[in-house]
A = this chain, B = another copy of it.
């Protein structure tokens, strides 16, 4: 397979047992590219939430459906995409977990976690079915006045 030089991909069957494999790989990648422990901890948790949603709501625990996780190590940011093979959903119609009426709900806080811990979270439907969540986290605090995009450059470096 052709692959950009700064990409690592992991594919798991839809089993909760495998989520720890994804978060440990996440830890290794954030550690390798120099995230501090605190940032790495929250990225780990955001990835866990997104993969758990893909297993639970997306693939509905169908062990034959995979969850595909892709890490793109950009110069400025780590991008993680999580894809499932379910029916998809519309994130704009979800109940707000912070609404006082919802505070005692037993669920519904995963996407809030993701949005809180990452710099950006976006959802789209995959043309061949399933959802793709794309999350990114800056590698270092931006210097004041620095306006360049935080995306991936032509020549991405594993270590900066």
Contact = CB atoms under 8 A, between A and B. Distances in A.
A4 B21 CA distance: 17
A68 interface: yes
Where chain A touches its partner, the secondary structure class is mixed
Interface stretch (A9-17, A38-46, A114-122, A141-149): A9-17
A56 B12 CA distance: 26
Residue of A1, A2, A4 contacting most chain B CB atoms (<10 Å)? A1
A65 B2 contact: yes
Given A17-B159, A21-B25, A24-B28, A1 B11 contact: yes
A50 interface: no
Contacts of A66: 1-3
A3 B64 contact: yes
A8 interface: yes
A111 interface: no
Given A64-B2, A66-B1, A85-B1, A21 B28 contact: yes
Interface of A: 1-15, 17-18, 20-21, 24-25, 28-29, 32, 63-66, 68, 85, 158-159
A6 B13 contact: yes
Contacts of A13: 3-8
Contacts of A14: 5
Contacts of A29: 21
Contact of A32 (B5, B8, B20, B28): B20
A99 to B, nearest CB: 37
B6 A8 contact: no
